[in-house]
Structure formats: C-alpha cells, structure tokens
Amino acid sequence: MDTESTYSGYSYYSGRSRGSHRHGERSRDRHKSRSKDSRSEKSVTINTPPAEPLLGDSSVRGEPVQDDNWGETTTAVTGTSEHSLSQEDIVRITKDLEDSVGLDCRRYFTLTLAVILGLLVFLTPLAFLVLPHVLWPEKLQSCGTACEGLFISVAFKLLILLLAVWALFFRPPRAGLPRVFVFRALLAVLVLLFVVSYWLFYGVRILDAQDENYQGIVQYAVSLVDALLFIHYLAIVLLELRQLRPYYSVCVTRSTDGETKHYNLGQLSIQRAALAVIEHYYCDFPVHNPALLSASKSRAAKHLAGLKVYNVDGPGNNAAAAGLAQSQSRAMIAAAARRRDTSHNELYYEEAEHERRVRKRRARLVVAVEEAFTHIKRMQEEEQKKTPGDVMDPREAAQAIFPSMARALQKYLRTTKQQHCHSMESIQQHLAFCVTNNMTPKAFLESYLCPGPTLQYSKDHWRSRQWTLISEASVTSGLKDGSVFNLKCVDFNLVVTAKKIPYIQMSEEYIDPKSHKFVLRLQSETSV
C-alpha cells in the first residue's frame, strides 16, 4: 500500500508539471503520451514507472519530471521498491541455494581423487628404490657408481615432474563444467593403469623373487619416471596445445539486443567452447541493459492493442474450435496489415528527439566535468611541506568536486538509461581513481559515455555467474561445423553457432622483379 501511494503521488506530480512545462515543441509529446495512456486504459495494461534506485533520491523531491519515463509503459514487472522482491530475484536466490551444495561436493571429490593419484605417482619410484633395502638388505648387491649416478637422475627427473605437474594441474579452477572433462579423465585412467601395471610387474618379478641386482631395480625406477614425463608431455599436448590452433569460427549473439561477436576457437568439446565463449563475453560484450529494451516491447504491445476478436456465433462445437482459432488469428493478422499504422512515424520522431536530448545532456555534462576538474590541482612535494593545512587525499578531493558535476551526470545517466549501473559510491571511487592517476576529464567520462564490458561494473552486475548450457548434442562431444548451442543466464540467452574455417589451398607464383615493365597501348577491336 505504501508503494501504491508513492506511485500515485508521482503521477499526480508529473501531471501538474507536464501542464506547466510543456509548450510548443513538446505539445506533440503531450498528446502522444496522453493518447497512449487512454489507449492502455482500454486494454487494461499495468503501467509501473520504474523506481529510481540509489541515484534518484532527488527525483521525487525537486526535479521536474523527465519526459523519458513516460515512454516506459511496459507490462513486465521491472525493479520495484526496495522491500519487495521481483520474480527474477526469487529465481536467482533459489538457484544459488540449490547449486552451491551440489557443486562443492563434486569439486572436493575430484580434488581428493587428484591428490591421491598424485601422491601415488610420486611415491612409487621412491618406494621401488627403498623397498629392496628394507625387505632384503643382506642379499642386495651394493650400488656402484653408475647406479648412484642414476639416483641423481631419478631425483632431478622427479623434481622436474613435480614442477611440471604443479604448473599444469595445480591452478585454481576457472569454472565448474556440467560434465566430466574427458581428456583429464582419460589421462588419469591412463596414469593409474600405468602405475598399477608397473607395481604388478614389480610385485611379481622383484618382490616375490627378491632380485639382488639393485642396478636393475634402479633402472626400472628410472624408466618409470621417464614414462611419467612422457605421459605429462601427452597431457600438455592434449589439454593445452591441441585447441590453440584456430579451427572453428563461432558467432555469438545475445538474444535480447542482437549484439554479435565472432571468435576463433580450436578443436574443443562443447562445454569447453562454451566456457571460452563466456570468458570472451565478459570482456567484449557491452553490459546488458534491460532498460533499453522497454521501447520495443511497448511498441509490440501497441501493435495488437487496438484489435479484439469477438465470437459472434456463440460457443460452437469443439470440433470447429481449432479451425476457429486459426481463422481468428489470420483475421487479426489481415486486419493489422490493413490498418493504417503510423507507429513508424512515432518511432522516427521519438528517436530523433531522444538523440537530440542525449547530445544536449552530454554537452552539459562534459562542460560541468571539465569545470570541476579545474578546481583541483596536484601539489608537488615541496609545496606539501610548506602548507600542510588544506591538503586533501584523493578521496576527499573527489568528494569535494563531486557535487558540482553530480547533477549533470545524473541527468545524463538517466537519459541514457544507465542509472542503475552506477551507484554514487562507485562514481566517487572512480573519480578518486582518476584524480590519483592524473587523468583528464575526458578519461573520467569515458566509462559513462559508452557502456563498457560487463567486467567493468560492480559485482552486482555479475549476477549471471550461473550459466546453463543448452545443447542438442552431448556437451562432451566436440564442436562440429554447424553446431548450435545456447548459454542461458537469468536475463538473456547467448546463441552460439560454430562454422568450420575452410581448408585453404595455396599455390605459389614467382615474379621476377625485372619483369615489371610498362608501355602505353591503345587498341580496340570491335565487331560489326
């Protein structure tokens, strides 16, 4: 009930200011928005003007109402007041709860398996070397120089293997993938089989027989370590090198606004390709701004708002119901096509108006920021000692000049519908950062004038840490030419299509540098 009263107060206030502020050029807008309202009343749509979080405290108090908000009459439930949860929030919270438990279990399980395997692998050669000394020390031949040389080789090879395994495998995991990583599983199985077969051989031929030839045992241990190094080489090739050469070109499209980028990937399984795509998405795609999509939704609602189908004959028999529904929809389409639709006109003028408004606000913003920056000056070391009174650190300096540009910045962000991406705190932090690094006003404004990649914004906008891979082919199968999969997150879909980079047949042709000679020629042959 609290929220309702705020909204009604809002609309009343804006109605009043609309009458007083709008003259001349704005009269068209006024008629337009009024007619919009009346039409929507007929078709019973819910108009909730979006609340202004964080930055918009002054909007209810002193500012004249922005014309742009009246364009946002949508039927979707957008951000509401701070105390209510939107549908999205609920979905997100339940998802977070569900998945955090399951994923951790799997991660710990694989981690323990890996640790056990690693320990087994490292301790095996040492065990091979030590066991004869422990079990039958009297029978054992003493170790000559060649044999002791092999000890050094075993030690260094084990050290190299340790460093190599640390470099390749002991990295913090980037992501949790839905299915097991096939190559790693294969390698683990291979290593396990290998070590088990060596133990078998050792157990049967050396332990049981109590072989006295210690040099032979040491050479056996050395061969084990060599083979382990080769398996590590195989691991590098399979896990790292194979997908470096670009083989497929994938086209990634965001479903909400059509933003498209192309990347080159190697031969990967679908889940690894999806991971690569998501990492590129965070760095390259401009941040997803749902406020920019409301205009097309309202247009779509208006296209069908004026038509209603009445069933004059009354409820007929069910057999004809399907045919009736089809003919109804066809009639609607025909009527909509015939109707004189002037929405393209509205769109054109709306966009031109918006363009103008954005440019005007941007000009004001740039001037305000430049002026604000002239108020601070960096102090040199010597001057600092002379006048210790007025000295401020970057944060205080930022807070000092922020109020003079705050209003222009707020208006600009509201016009370009970016106000929910930047909080006051983040703007002041950014300002302090720019001042510390001697940046110009233009550099400070760059992050507000164009929407940057998702990584640039605060962690709140990283909501989509949870991605779902939707694919018709199995996710551990490799990428193929023409494979399509979807990456779904809470707000939007990323549609990914893969195309093979074609085989290139190149031939050579030698040109003698002396053969570049020219002569003027005019000759034409014409048929009669």
Partner 1 sequence: MSYVPGQPVTAVVQKIEIRKLRQGERLILGFSIGGGIDQDPLQNPHSEDKSDKGIYVTRISPGGPADVAGLMVGDKIMQVNGWDMTMIKHFHALQKLTKPNEEVVRLLVTRKSLETAVKGAMGLH
Binding site for partner 1 (CB under 8 A): 520-528
Residue 505 CB, nearest distance to partner 1 (Å)? Answer: 37
Which is closer to partner 1, CB of 318 or CB of 524? 524
Residue 307 CB, nearest distance to partner 1 (Å)? Answer: 55
Cβ-contact 192, 113 below 8 angstroms: no
The dihedral sign for the CA sequence 280, 432, 424, 360: negative
Look up tokens 């014309």; give the residue.
67
Residue 186: how many CB atoms within 10 A of its CB? 14
Residue 245: how many CB atoms within 10 A of its CB? 11
State the Cα–Cα distance between residues 33 and 433, nearest whole angstrom.
42
Which is closer to partner 1, CB of 25 or CB of 525? 525
Residue 517 CB, nearest distance to partner 1 (Å)? Answer: 15
Residue 520 CB, nearest distance to partner 1 (Å)? Answer: 8
Which is closer to partner 1, CB of 4 or CB of 525? 525
Which is closer to partner 1, CB of 382 or CB of 525? 525
Residue 525 CB, nearest distance to partner 1 (Å)? Answer: 4
Structure tokens at 376: 């601070």
Which is closer to partner 1, CB of 142 or CB of 523? 523
SS3 250: strand
Which is closer to partner 1, CB of 504 or CB of 520? 520
Which is closer to partner 1, CB of 390 or CB of 525? 525
Residue 519 CB, nearest distance to partner 1 (Å)? Answer: 9
Cβ-contact 335, 307 below 8 angstroms: yes
Rg (CA), the chain: 35
161 contacts: CB under 8 Å, gap ≥ 6:
122, 225, 228, 229, 232
Strands 493-500 and 484-488: antiparallel
Length of the chain: 528
Q: What angle do CA 93, 98, 104 make, to 5 degrees?
A: 120
